[in-house]
Amino acid sequence: MSVTLSGAPVLRDVSLDVHHGRVLALVGPNGAGKSTLLAVLSGDRRPDAGTVELDGVPLRQWSAGDLARQRAVLTQENQVAFAFGVEDVVMMGRAPWRGREEDAQDEAVVADALRQADVEHLRGRVFPSLSGGEKARVSLARVLAQRTPTVLWDEPTAALDLSHQEDVMRVARALADQGVAVVVVLHDLSLAAAYADQVALIHRGEVAAHGAPRDVMTAERVEAVYGSAVHVIDGPSGLLIVPRRDAPAAPSR
């Protein structure tokens, strides 16, 4: 698939398979095209060339309701237009199931989503009163409440502290272990290495590498794409990718 914005190519001939039961992390420098790729995969943006298929059916052939019951999307913007309560915001994730037999589970599903996102204690708050990190976790709970077989998250850990970053990725891992297809945009390469089954390294609108974290995130490749020298350390908790502060910046290609 390819996408052009204002005459400039943003994605070039990208081809990816997303599998149930796996976490796919999209990583790459700012402006590489990760969020655009996620929007195309979700059906929120049509590619200028190529197609995206869900279960063998092009996304454009899915109705809005059916698509909302198949995939849930967490964007970077955690905004709500009115002063809804936290529980009301999470209940919005149940909207695609309204009028169906699944809506009998709404209260139980919302309670579980609040627990998974560690926001049960915020039930009595209104959304605009929350901190940035709290809004991010409530938005995650809304997406979890949607209960879809595919989830696509754009930088879900960006506004979170260390503990909640790990919590979010544990949730992603647990969903995949239950058979859900998880696609997540991340900037933290060590988080991606720790929790993803596969990593797609996006650079200048193209997939520079795609595969297991150890195969993709070599020091040479990371340095070439990010323009910064790194150490890749194989530690007891998996790969750690940290900058080499004693080295000059590597030229980005």
2, pLDDT greater than 90: yes
Q: What pLDDT sits at residue 141?
A: 98
- Over residues 88-111, the mean pLDDT reads 96
Single out the residue of 114, 116, 119 nearest to residue 131, CA to CA: 119
- The pLDDT of 29-52, averaged and rounded, is 95
Confidence of residue 238 (pLDDT cuts 50, 70, 90): confident
Q: 184 or 246: whose pLDDT is higher?
A: 184
**What is the model's pLDDT at position 235?**
82
Mean pLDDT in residue range 89-114: 96
pLDDT(195) > 90: yes
Q: What is the pLDDT of residue 19?
A: 97
Other CB atoms within 10 A of residue 174 CB: 12
Exposed/middle/buried for 124, CB within 10 Å: 0-12, 13-18, 19+? exposed
Report the 10 Å Cβ neighbour count for 235.
9
Chain segment 50-80, per-residue pLDDT in tens: 999 999 999 999 999 999 999 999 998 877 7
* Cα angle 74-217-152, degrees, rounded to a multiple of 5: 15
pLDDT of the residue at 251: 58
Across 90-94, 191-195, 243-247, least confident range: 243-247
CA distance to 20, 123, 136, per residue, from 118 (Å): 25, 11, 11
Residue 117 has pLDDT above 80, yes or no: yes
| 42-49 average pLDDT score | 94
CB-based contact 231:241 (threshold 8 Å): yes
* pLDDT tens profile 143-164: 999 999 999 999 999 989 999 9
Say what the pTM is. 0.93
Beta bridge partners of 154: 185
pLDDT band at 248 (very low <50, low <70, confident <90, very high): low
3-state secondary structure of 28: coil
Cβ–Cβ under 8 Å, residues 186 and 25: yes
Q: How many CB atoms lie within 10 A of CB 22?
A: 17
Q: 107: closest CA among 90, 119, 121?
A: 90
Domains and CATH numbers, the chain: 1-70+150-253 (3.40.50.300), 78-147 (no CATH)
